[in-house]
Structure 1
Amino acid sequence: MWFPRFKQAFCALTLPWILAVIIQLAARAYLLWYYGSDEVLAGLSADVKRMFWIGGLFDIRVASLLFVPCLLIAGILAINKTSFTVWQRFWPLLATILSLFITTMAVGNIFYYATYERAIDIFVFGLIDDDTVAVLKTLWSDYPVIRGILCLVAFAIILFKIYRRWQHQLNVRPLRPAGPLVSVILTLVILSVGFVGMRGSVGTFPLRQSDAQISEVKLLNMLTPNGPIAFSWAYKAYREYGHFPQAPDNQGSELLSRFLDNPTPAGLAPFMATTASNPIARSQPPNVVFAVMESMGYYLQSYDRPDRDLFGALRSHWQTDWRFKRFIAEGNGTIDSLSRFFVRSPHNNISQSTAQFTDFASNMFKPYLANGYKVIFVTSGNGSWRNLNQFLPHLGVSEFIEQNGLKSRYPEAQAGTWGVPDEFMFRFIEDRLAQAEKEGEHVFIMSMSTTHHPPYKTPDSYKKTEITLSEAEQNRLSNLANGGEELQEVFHTLRYTNDQLGQFISWIKSQPLGEHTIIAVTGDHNIRGIGYPNANELAISHAVPFYLYVPQAYRQNSHFDEQRVGSHKDIWPTLYQLSLSDTPYYRMGCNLLAGNLDDNWCQGYNPEVVITPSGAYTLIGKGEFHPWTGKEGLLLANPQPMTSKQTKLLNRWQAFTPLLSWQLNRQVHGLK
């Protein structure tokens, strides 16, 4: 008789499950009706349908996460008639509590959106972190608290009666036994459906936060997640990214004095600098395109051979334009590098944290905004990844374009695991530069590609070229891929992204706007899955290129030397000096094109290693100095005893990592 009891429990819980989905769907529909004007939603019927579809999957996931465990408990209790009788009496109360929770979260999400024009997020925990009494007083004065509680209580009473009545209807029906085979099959079907419902997806990944980015319209993206899901994301962000230590003066003074090798009082003033006078940039501000390429690392590109083309259309530009060969990524992952690019944050998750709306002095877009530039960010990936769609507009990005926007502009773009193919990102940048040229704008465009990322897959339309690797090369890359087609696809995506980048640069150079458009390219990090076990590969493990195309008119006072060392921190000062005149900026690196390099800032930095013209210093462990093995390349020799000058330089850069954290915390806490 176990299965008939289990089936009755399934039928009983189906009602609150359906109501949970309906309640969340109704809340979403209400917000759309109330805030979605005809002007906002004009021509977006497909996006609205997608919002309800993905939102409905979120609703199903929440309902399943709450009620499938209840069904499993009922299945255990159904083994015994007495225990199942207890279940029959108890579940209406349990279902009422869970339904009330869902309703409360739905209502809370409605009021949260009404206040902040976004779904519940990390700032809901201001009730705890801010003046709790003051927040509660605000809630009391601004919202119908008493009426809302009374309505929820009344709703709970009604639900409880409905659920008890439903159980009574089930009790009067006789429990009919089923054959063993039918019982097993139906049980497996019910549990399988429940499992899929809890995932919200039958794909590789369960339904996740990035799936909520379904449109270029913020309203639709905000309405896609329901209250419980939005709250769960907020809680995770608060738990992981909610704490920023204080930045006391004594700590700051000690770190600044160590790094600058000179007694320095605490403050942000040592980070402030001003670009030199640049008459051509003042009279004709250039467009600036800064392309960050996924996993564009030094190591894998070294597999290029005359008979193994890994560059495509990029090759000619790579060989003739400016490119620094001893250059490393500052971050050790995509968001790590981007956080440092955006606001000089060593805190990987600054864009998701409680500090995401800080007015950062280190906002690296500010110098361009101060000079009237329109700042645009384009990615072939999903805009909700790491909350960038909320974070970057706060920093002054006036146009944020991601995979959904690219798909709407270019219907042939097909999204993969991490986004649409990079070619559509570059196509948009071309269109946007042409528009800027026509309208007399000067624009700063930063882009982030995604195609060269596991699982590796080139677009079906891309013509692949055979990549032949020796057995030794395949063994060296065995950690990256299992050989055969999988390793081939790694190189195919690398060549594809390089080729698309090269075609984009070629297009700019062929246009009149190429005479006043500067292009900078780097990788977010070296490709990681390879593994770099040898100490002599420490610098290589972080090595990425830094490429520059600078029109002739903007090269005045520039001194290019491909052997100069650097890292991500040096890209911004170099671009500022090329494109801006007499403009203050937040300095944490050096201009690599300066006639005389600044010894304080001009070394390549990563939290694990610092590279200099003479070799590299390890920042992990006790710290060592490794000279280069030759005049070119990034291979390191065995460690050597350090001179007093080298020891001082190591001590300086060992202070830089905690100094980065200190200056960020200083800004977060509003100290100058």
Structure 2
Amino acid sequence: MISSASPAPGWQRFISQLSMVVRLVLWILVCLCISRGLLVWLNRHAMDGATTGWEYAEAMLVGLRFDGRIAAFLLAPSVILSALCLKFDLTKATRRTTLAAGFLFTILWLLLGTITLGYFREYHNQFDPHVLGVVYDDFGAVVQTIWKTYPIVRGLLVLLALMAGLCWLMRRWVLLDFPHRLPSAPRTLPGRIVWTLAVLFILVVGLRGAVKGRPVQEKDAGCTRDQVLNRCVVNPFFALHYAIGAHRRLMDQGGLDQYLDEKEIKAAFREFAGTDDLKTVDDAFLRKAAGPTGPVPRHIFVVLLESYDGWTMMPEHAAWDIAPNMLRLGKEGARVTRFVAASRSTMTSLSSVISGLADAGVITNERSRPGQPPFATSIAPQMNGLGFETHFFYSGLGTWQRVEDFAKEQGFKHTHMGPDMPKSPGSNEWGVTDRDLYQYIESTIRPDVPSFSVIMTASNHRPFSIDLAKEGCEVKVPATGYPNFAEGNATLGMLGHHKYSDKCVGEFVERMDAKAPGCFFALTADHWGRAFPGPRPTMMEQALVPLVLWQKGRTFPDLSGVGGSHYDLGATVIEMVAPQGASYHAIGRNLLGANPPVHAQSRLWDIGPDSIVAMGGEGRMETLDGKALAQPPADLPQQLRNYNLVHGLSWWRLIEGNELPR
């Protein structure tokens, strides 16, 4: 018989195992708070100077609600086994389960936390839907870039040592003899019920991240006025979970809900087309050409410069002098100063330029296969039909994100990949140098055969392997007026590669036009470079990519009031060469036409004449010079409607096909 002074064996098993669970909960919460605090500290310079101490505290407290959910999910099996110990001797199984959860958490926390720090520095966010692009990326090139850019061997050794040390420390902490004196087992039925309900209540609160009301949700992370601080609130586990969830929602049948109600989709097609006479989805994108308004170019080049930042061409950053050729060509020809890329990564933007459809978040290059007809909005087949020989040039491997297959499927008659080109010093795993690429193009294009080319460069990309001193493109010291340069994420080497990209494209335009007169160039970028020489770039400095239009002898209209994006390139190019009344398909508008767009709009941004808005639900708004807006722009509802139409209809065409909804 058990003495009344000693706890019952079942109770002793239960309370000892439960104490291990409690200690592991504390371990998890402390670890996640440390990683959040480190993320905040490392990005403190990017945060609003007006952010108060209370807002930092609130961010940490809200983060604890997400952390509690992680602890509860991991330890729910241990809690259940601990309760079963009241009746059965499951101490070994419970202990092993608890320790396994501790080892799993500690290893994943170190891995995800380390990756998050690097991802946040590059993309100014924790894991988001764009991180899933790594699944489709060139894994070998990614690994080689990381290997060349970071001290991987030393980093892995440090990480393994930390894993071993922290796992040992976690085990010691969890197995401590605590509490030293076990509480007495409840002797009455009400006492047992209270204990049971208390444990159940704590577990449920942990799983929900809330005592009352709804469970904690992703939107609760927006608890302060500081957007950068808000992005640090959720822990890496939930950030990855939300990223995967958002990606899956866009890819499945519910993805349309991000933009349009399925019940109104047919009316949305009619609204976009401006007519009820639609037999297919593609009919909504049908246009009639107004006819050329200037000399019809014989050769057209749409050049996407890797990571070419629009801020480098802004007057306030002229001191860097790393975009002289683009500025010169823009002055000689024309330049759209409010222009944005389709998306924030290379393939998603390039896919939009090639397909003519908006980036709706559904991996456009995976939506076509050999044997399927190109999208009606695709630029290459339409240019083929207008008598142009179509070429796609890419510095890298054609297998990267199946870019060569995609270009062929979308109508390009000739594709040219990095292995076809000469390879000089400075080439790397992402492709040949810009100079190698352009020289190959110059030797390939036949002056007497009209041609249309889309070109994708690669040199302005990690691991940044160009010999800048040899090229005369070194940036040796920060420009005057940038005392906080070290607090930004740009390096002098990055900016030097930007200057090299500018130098090479300037040389290419001059040489190509000399060889084949009648060339038209549309020079833009795949996305902004995600690097800035200071801690807090404005939204405009983050959003802008260039668009320079150049053709010798051509008089361009005044584009000072025009806003545009990659979505408008197809219509602009086709309208320059298509005869009056010719039919074509596009989602954007002619930037050189009589009624050009005023707003620059993409999946990420809407830039109007006086303000910029972050699209896709984040809701940040600023004036063009970076000041906070007192109230939303008056035309925001109209722009949101246009945004949802363009992206919702593109989503339908990519996912559901060319058949109109019934």
Provide TM-score, normalisation by structure 1: 0.54
Indicate the residue corresponding to 1:496 in structure 2.
500
Alignment size in residue pairs? 415
- Relative to structure 1, the CA distance from residue 331 to residue 621 in structure 2 (aligned partners, 3 Å threshold; closer, same or farther) is closer
Write the distance in 2 (CA, Å) between the matches of 1:659 and 1:670: 11
Select 2:265's aligned residue among 243, 249, 252: 252
Query: Match for 1:592: what amino acid?
Result: L
Query: Match for 1:595: what amino acid?
Result: A
Following TM superposition, by how much is the alpha carbon of 1:541 offset from its aligned partner in structure 2, in angstroms? Answer: 1.5
Q: Does 1:656 align with 2:646?
A: yes
Following TM superposition, by how much is the alpha carbon of 1:469 offset from its aligned partner in structure 2, in angstroms? Answer: 0.8
Indicate the residue corresponding to 1:10 in structure 2.
none
Mind listing any 5+ residue stretches in structure 1 that lack a counterpart?
Answer: 1-197, 207-238, 482-486, 630-634
Following TM superposition, by how much is the alpha carbon of 1:394 offset from its aligned partner in structure 2, in angstroms? Answer: 1.9
Deviation string, structure 1 residues 105-163 (Cα, Å, up to 9, x no partner):
xxxxxxxxxxxxxxxxxxxxxxxxxxxxxxxxxxxxxxxxxxxxxxxxxxxxxxxxxxx
Write the distance in 1 (CA, Å) between the matches of 2:376 and 2:649: 15
- Relative to structure 1, the CA distance from residue 241 to residue 426 in structure 2 (aligned partners, 3 Å threshold; closer, same or farther) is farther
Write the distance in 1 (CA, Å) between the matches of 2:321 and 2:573: 30
Indicate the residue corresponding to 1:389 in structure 2.
404
Indicate the residue corresponding to 1:318 in structure 2.
330
Matched residue SS, 1:566: strand
Select 1:605's aligned residue among 601, 609, 612: 601
Following TM superposition, by how much is the alpha carbon of 1:365 offset from its aligned partner in structure 2, in angstroms? Answer: 1.4
Q: Does 1:468 align with 2:477?
A: yes
Deviation string, structure 1 residues 360-418 (Cα, Å, up to 9, x no partner):
222221220111211111112222111012121122222211211113xxx54653131
Indicate the residue corresponding to 1:638 in structure 2.
629
Write the distance in 2 (CA, Å) between the matches of 1:205 and 1:637: 37
Write the distance in 2 (CA, Å) between the matches of 1:588 and 1:350: 15
Matched residue SS, 1:667: coil
Query: Match for 2:543: what amino acid?
Result: H
Write the distance in 2 (CA, Å) between the matches of 1:550 and 1:488: 33
Following TM superposition, by how much is the alpha carbon of 1:443 offset from its aligned partner in structure 2, in angstroms? Answer: 0.7
Deviation string, structure 1 residues 546-596 (Cα, Å, up to 9, x no partner):
0001233x65xx523233111111122111112222432222111111123
Following TM superposition, by how much is the alpha carbon of 1:540 offset from its aligned partner in structure 2, in angstroms? Answer: 2.9
Q: Does 1:373 align with 2:388?
A: yes
Matches within 5 A, 1:145-160: none
Matches within 5 A, 1:497-512: 497-511=501-515
Following TM superposition, by how much is the alpha carbon of 1:268 offset from its aligned partner in structure 2, in angstroms? Answer: 2.9
- Relative to structure 1, the CA distance from residue 670 to residue 442 in structure 2 (aligned partners, 3 Å threshold; closer, same or farther) is farther
- Relative to structure 1, the CA distance from residue 412 to residue 549 in structure 2 (aligned partners, 3 Å threshold; closer, same or farther) is same
Indicate the residue corresponding to 2:289 in structure 1.
275
Deviation string, structure 1 residues 583-632 (Cα, Å, up to 9, x no partner):
322221111111233xxx65211223212224334434385765444xxx
Contact 1:574 1:590 in 2 (8 A): yes
Indicate the residue corresponding to 1:49 in structure 2.
none
Query: Match for 1:406: what amino acid?
Result: M
Write the distance in 1 (CA, Å) between the matches of 2:654 and 2:410: 15
- Relative to structure 1, the CA distance from residue 269 to residue 260 in structure 2 (aligned partners, 3 Å threshold; closer, same or farther) is closer
- Relative to structure 1, the CA distance from residue 477 to residue 244 in structure 2 (aligned partners, 3 Å threshold; closer, same or farther) is farther
Write the distance in 1 (CA, Å) between the matches of 2:604 and 2:144: 37
Matched residue SS, 1:559: coil
Moved more, 467-476 or 585-594: 467-476
Contact 2:339 2:565 in 1 (8 A): yes
Following TM superposition, by how much is the alpha carbon of 1:275 offset from its aligned partner in structure 2, in angstroms? Answer: 1.5
Select 1:616's aligned residue among 612, 616, 620: 612
Indicate the residue corresponding to 2:588 in structure 1.
589
Contact 2:251 2:362 in 1 (8 A): no
- Relative to structure 1, the CA distance from residue 619 to residue 256 in structure 2 (aligned partners, 3 Å threshold; closer, same or farther) is farther
- Relative to structure 1, the CA distance from residue 621 to residue 313 in structure 2 (aligned partners, 3 Å threshold; closer, same or farther) is closer
Write the distance in 2 (CA, Å) between the matches of 1:478 and 1:363: 42
Matches within 5 A, 1:288-307: 288-302=300-314
Write the distance in 1 (CA, Å) between the matches of 2:658 and 2:533: 36
Matched residue SS, 1:610: strand
Q: Does 1:339 align with 2:351?
A: yes
Indicate the residue corresponding to 2:364 in structure 1.
350
Indicate the residue corresponding to 2:378 in structure 1.
363
Following TM superposition, by how much is the alpha carbon of 1:467 offset from its aligned partner in structure 2, in angstroms? Answer: 3.3
Write the distance in 1 (CA, Å) between the matches of 2:310 and 2:417: 27
Select 2:522's aligned residue among 506, 510, 520: 520
Following TM superposition, by how much is the alpha carbon of 1:521 offset from its aligned partner in structure 2, in angstroms? Answer: 0.4
Indicate the residue corresponding to 2:552 in structure 1.
551
Provide TM-score, normalisation by structure 2: 0.55
Give the % identical residues: 18
Contact 1:314 1:503 in 2 (8 A): no
Query: Match for 1:596: what amino acid?
Result: N
Indicate the residue corresponding to 1:577 in structure 2.
575
Write the distance in 1 (CA, Å) between the matches of 2:383 and 2:401: 24
- Relative to structure 1, the CA distance from residue 329 to residue 477 in structure 2 (aligned partners, 3 Å threshold; closer, same or farther) is farther
Write the distance in 2 (CA, Å) between the matches of 1:241 and 1:570: 27
Matched residue SS, 1:473: coil
- Relative to structure 1, the CA distance from residue 308 to residue 205 in structure 2 (aligned partners, 3 Å threshold; closer, same or farther) is closer
Matched residue SS, 1:518: strand
Following TM superposition, by how much is the alpha carbon of 1:646 offset from its aligned partner in structure 2, in angstroms? Answer: 4.3
Following TM superposition, by how much is the alpha carbon of 1:533 offset from its aligned partner in structure 2, in angstroms? Answer: 8.1
Write the distance in 1 (CA, Å) between the matches of 2:274 and 2:534: 33
Write the distance in 2 (CA, Å) between the matches of 1:311 and 1:442: 30
Contact 1:249 1:267 in 2 (8 A): no
Query: Match for 1:455: what amino acid?
Result: P
- Relative to structure 1, the CA distance from residue 357 to residue 385 in structure 2 (aligned partners, 3 Å threshold; closer, same or farther) is farther
Write the distance in 2 (CA, Å) between the matches of 1:371 and 1:268: 19
Write the distance in 2 (CA, Å) between the matches of 1:321 and 1:200: 37
Query: Match for 1:255: what amino acid?
Result: A
RMSD, aligned α-carbons: 3.9
Write the distance in 1 (CA, Å) between the matches of 2:652 and 2:440: 38
Contact 1:414 1:420 in 2 (8 A): yes
Matches within 5 A, 1:401-550: 401-407=416-422, 412=424, 415-433=427-445, 436-437=446-447, 440-459=448-467, 461-469=470-478, 473=482, 475-476=484-485, 478-481=487-490, 487-511=491-515, 513-514=516-517, 516-530=518-532, 537-550=538-551
Query: Match for 1:538: what amino acid?
Result: M
Write the distance in 1 (CA, Å) between the matches of 2:142 and 2:525: 32
Indicate the residue corresponding to 1:568 in structure 2.
566
